[in-house]
């Protein structure tokens, strides 16, 4: 689901780029990552607790009472908003790395490509062995065209980002138009295929072994690759927008951009919410397998509304960054905790774990997510008193810089 790393710094005494030290971090990025990690968990827990095909389908009609309103809250205020924030932060981290490499006169591309390859490897392990809803593979792949945009003028980045993101939305509408031209028999087959996928996920994740789940994950990974033609441009668009936020100084020195942040808080956020509510009112429930033009048009409204809502959230988090600074620790370990969320939740819900698949009401899912995140915040503070990085961040840096970074805080002192 963001730049899950912290960038890099330069040590003039060494011939290569080195991992960033704690004193060189842009502090608000860690706070943003922490908040985004909570949003990602609130969104993803539905896909852990039941069939993936039934998650992210709007407001599910089978929920009643408080569970219905919990599902509606996530769909309107969470789903798609923190995914885009994570993506924006990945682009921001890219720009941080590029700036520091340029300032040091170092060759940036080889380091960055190793970083992308490391993320791809981590993502593949996650998608195939833990949970098929992985986002890291898509981030790794989309990071390659991001590198090609490195030389673009800074003023172009917001417009490039918006254009590329909207390109993904237009592709979604094109799919809807093509489906709408299909025969009734083809439409029925699509619905039947979706139901078959749901039944298969219930069988494997609700009753099967870990090895059977791995086989199912491999199948779902192949399906997800096809969907990247739509999600890929949306991710890349947010990468480009995040690059602008860093390169312009809007994140490092937000006090220099009062008009921008006021616009995001008081105009962008309400506008995004209005678009989201319009799409939700039009199609509150998105039936699996139904991808006709009205359905994809409603999805497009929600996808477009997610961007200004995401930016509005960013602006408010920046405003409250001092009050939220306790979340910076979990943001520094965002990659570790993202993977840990998947591991713990699949062990809780899947049959090869505690077997609570489709047993937890929607509102309780959100309470579980909040409890898990609170534990992750506490763990992060304890861990970072002794160590510089989360364990997966440390491994990722080792793959990126081709050396073992100093792990303990005492060894990292300058």
- Model confidence pLDDT, tens digit, residues 90-146: 999 999 988 888 887 788 999 999 999 999 999 999 999 999 999 999 999 999 999
Whole-number Å distance between alpha carbons of 38 and 375: 12
* Percentage, residues of the chain above pLDDT 70: 93
Under 8 Å between Cβ of 357 and 87: no
- Model confidence pLDDT, tens digit, residues 303-353: 999 999 999 999 999 999 999 999 999 999 999 999 999 999 999 999 999
| Burial class for 181, CB neighbours closer than 10 Å (0-12, 13-18, 19+) | exposed
- Whole-prediction pTM: 0.91
Under 8 Å between Cβ of 79 and 59: no
pLDDT at 27: 86
pLDDT at 2: 39
Q: Is the dihedral of CA 12, 18, 20, 22 positive or negative?
A: negative
Under DSSP, the state recorded for 77 is I
Place 16 in a pLDDT band, splitting at 50, 70 and 90. very low
How many C-beta atoms surround the C-beta of residue 263 within 10 A? Answer: 16
Q: What proportions of the chain, in percent to the nearest 5, are helix, strand and coil? A: 75, 0, 25
pLDDT at 15: 34
How many C-beta atoms surround the C-beta of residue 371 within 10 A? Answer: 10
Place 181 in a pLDDT band, splitting at 50, 70 and 90. very high
Place 25 in a pLDDT band, splitting at 50, 70 and 90. low
pLDDT at 63: 96
């Amino acid at each position: 689901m963001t730049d899950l790393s912290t960038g890099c710094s330069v040590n003039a005494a060494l011939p290569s780029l080195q991992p960033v030290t704690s004193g060189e971090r842009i502090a608000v990025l860690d706070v943003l990552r922490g908040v985004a990690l909570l949003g990602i968990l609130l969104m993803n827990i539905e896909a852990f607790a039941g069939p993936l095909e039934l998650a992210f389908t709007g407001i599910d009609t089978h929920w009643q009472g408080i569970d219905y309103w919990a599902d509606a809250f996530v769909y309107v205020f969470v789903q798609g908003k923190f995914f885009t924030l994570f993506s924006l932060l990945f682009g921001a981290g890219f720009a941080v790395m590029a700036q520091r490499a340029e300032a040091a006169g170092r060759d940036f591309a080889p380091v960055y490509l190793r970083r992308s390859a490391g993320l791809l490897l981590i993502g593949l392990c996650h998608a195939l062995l833990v949970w098929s809803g992985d986002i890291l593979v898509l981030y790794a792949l989309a990071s390659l065209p991001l590198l090609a945009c490195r030389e673009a003028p800074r003023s172009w980045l917001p417009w490039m980002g918006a254009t590329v993101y909207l390109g993904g939305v237009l592709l979604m509408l094109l799919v809807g138009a093509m489906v709408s031209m299909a025969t009734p028999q083809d439409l029925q087959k699509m619905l039947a295929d979706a139901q078959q996928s749901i039944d298969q996920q219930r069988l494997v994740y609700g009753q099967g072994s870990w090895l059977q789940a791995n086989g199912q994950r491999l199948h779902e990974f192949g399906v997800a690759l096809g969907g990247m033609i739509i999600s890929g441009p949306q991710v890349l668009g947010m990468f480009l927008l995040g690059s602008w936020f860093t390169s312009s100084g809007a994140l490092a020195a937000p006090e220099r951009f009062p008009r921008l942040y006021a616009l995001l808080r008081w105009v962008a956020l309400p506008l995004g919410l209005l678009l989201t509510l319009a799409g939700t009112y039009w199609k509150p429930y998105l039936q699996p397998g139904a991808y006709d033009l009205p359905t994809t048009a409603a999805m497009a409204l929600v996808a477009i509304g997610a961007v200004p809502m995401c930016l509005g959230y960013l602006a408010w988090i920046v405003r409250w960054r001092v009050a939220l600074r306790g979340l910076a620790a979990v943001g520094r370990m965002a990659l570790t905790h993202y993977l840990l969320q998947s591991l713990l939740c699949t062990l809780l819900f899947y049959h090869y774990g505690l077997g609570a698949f489709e047993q937890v009401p929607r509102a309780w899912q959100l309470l579980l997510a909040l409890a898990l995140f609170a534990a992750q915040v506490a763990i992060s503070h304890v861990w970072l008193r002794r160590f510089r990085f989360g364990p997966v961040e440390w491994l990722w840096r080792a793959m990126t810089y081709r050396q073992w970074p100093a792990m303990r805080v005492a060894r990292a002192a300058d």
